[in-house]
Structure 1
Amino acid sequence: MEMMMNTTIIWDFNGTLLDDTLFCVDSMNKVLNKRGLPSITLQKYREIFGFPVKGYYEKAGFDLNLFSFHELSGEFIKLYYEGVYTKTKLHESAREVLSYFHAQGIKQVILSAMEHEGLVALTKFFNIYDYFESVWGIDDHHASGKIQIAKNHMDEIKSQNLFYIGDTDHDEEVARFLHARLIFHCNGSQSIDRLAVFNDAILADNLKQVQDIIGKVSNGPVPQKN
């Protein structure tokens, strides 16, 4: 497969490359149950998860007039980091796909709403850090969103062929801001029904499909800002 010249791939991390969705559900349920609130299912999680995550916490069942969002999110993050290295894994074929693009000379970066140092540590732990030219995370653990990160690095991600790979509706916002072709990995943080409403996005069931799609997509028009 002949890869396109001057191509950059921007990857989301959690849910897109890292298969951590079920672990996130389990961790959130511990925070809920500690306060006498009912658990959520994986299906429910995929229906309500989004950015900024404060809204997701409310939909999960927390009354933020009674509970401190910073306390809740801090407790979740503590549980997450206690288990993420042993209870999650990369999505199937993730390392193979990243290695393939790297061998083709394709520039790859990660743009994530995860705290930067934790993000870098995980990419190194899973032996994928060297596939990326840059790894960009946020400055705190509250996952407010990725638009500002994109703004901060606009000059570094200009490319004739720019692809954005994500798993949430927020990724559609970021891809549109960057004028990037969007591919959704539909085995992550949100249900396919929520992702399928975006007509400009391409849906992929797995990362091997993402690889095939990028190889086939022509230099057509990209989404424009509203």
Structure 2
Amino acid sequence: MAHDAIALRNGITHIVWDWNGTLLDDNHANLAALNQVCAEFGREPVELEYWRSVFRRPLLACYQELFGRPLADEEWERLNRTYDRHYSSLLPSCRLADGALEVLAAWRQRGRTQSLLSMASHRHLVPIITERGLTGHFTRVDGRRFDSVHDSKAEHLVDHLTAQDIDPATVVLIGDIDDDARAAREAGAHAILVATGLMSRERLEATGHPVAGSAAEAVAMIAD
């Protein structure tokens, strides 16, 4: 991984940030919403470390494994409504990750650019970023604008970079799950994963990409 980190120092001028679990410290809200879903669907509550050991995309397959059975379309829709309702009620309690604001400002001061790409709904994400006064840090803010077949960030990342006319080779995506690494690989970009979100460090390290303990540590890997 040290070799990968050194390689990242050459030619990286743009960061694509993930939001949940990367810039936003929202594990407690995610877990509370998950356990509300578990209660509604007759499953015992789960601990965060367990969820970090099994969470993955596609989300439908992940939840079907959690419940040990298939989910009908109407159940999946109800699950998402329940989750979103309870997560949204806890969102005001979610703070930015430690040092995130300073890291965003420092990267801009270095004369480089950054944008935000999240798998959260675009119409829900944009007001949150605006309300928190973060819009000025980013050249573009995109949430999930469409549902992809594979429920992956890959197609969204391609569109995100194309819209900005950015060469993927100059980009590092900083995110908190293995799908971020997958998206970067498919788009031709680099990736650094942070062990602060919904996937354990061991699972992140298994991707072969550099893993950091914080957003600040991730940016230090690509700093001059």
Alpha-carbon displacement from aligned partner over 1:77-111 (angstroms, at most 9, x marks no partner): 111112212x2111100011001111222111111
Closer, same or farther: CA 147–121 of 1 in aligned 2, 3 Å: same
The percent identity for this pair of structures is 25
Aligned to 2:40: 34
How many residues were matched structurally? 212
TM-score, normalising length from structure 2?
A: 0.86
Matched, 1:72 2:79: yes
1:118-133 residue pairs with structure 2 within 5 A? 118-133=124-139
- Secondary structure in 2 matching 1:214: coil
| Alpha-carbon shift at residue 140 of structure 1 (Å) | 6.1
Alpha-carbon displacement from aligned partner over 1:156-197 (angstroms, at most 9, x marks no partner): 231552111011110111110122221111111100111111
Q: Which runs of 5+ in 1 are unaligned?
A: 217-226
How many angstroms apart in 2 are the aligned matches of 1:162 and 1:140?
23
| Pick aligned residue for 1:186 from 176, 195, 198 | 195
How many angstroms apart in 2 are the aligned matches of 1:148 and 1:159?
13
Aligned to 1:205: 213
How many angstroms apart in 2 are the aligned matches of 1:160 and 1:192?
25
1:12-161 residue pairs with structure 2 within 5 A? 12-61=18-67, 63-65=69-71, 68-85=75-92, 87-139=93-145, 144-155=151-162, 156=164, 157-158=166-167, 160-161=169-170
The residue identity in structure 2 corresponding to 1:179 is G
How many angstroms apart in 2 are the aligned matches of 1:76 and 1:65?
15
Aligned to 1:219: none
- Secondary structure in 1 matching 2:20: coil
Question: Higher mean Cα deviation, 186-195 or 160-169?
Answer: 160-169
Closer, same or farther: CA 148–159 of 1 in aligned 2, 3 Å: closer
The residue identity in structure 2 corresponding to 1:189 is L
Aligned to 2:3: none
* 8 Å CA contact retained: 1:98, 1:131: yes
Closer, same or farther: CA 151–5 of 1 in aligned 2, 3 Å: closer
- Secondary structure in 2 matching 1:190: coil
Relative contact order, CA 8 A, sep 6+: which one is greater?
Answer: 2
How many angstroms apart in 2 are the aligned matches of 1:181 and 1:130?
24
CA-atom RMSD in angstroms: 2.3
Closer, same or farther: CA 141–19 of 1 in aligned 2, 3 Å: farther
| Alpha-carbon shift at residue 112 of structure 1 (Å) | 1.1
- Secondary structure in 1 matching 2:85: helix
- Secondary structure in 2 matching 1:163: strand
How many angstroms apart in 2 are the aligned matches of 1:16 and 1:6?
19
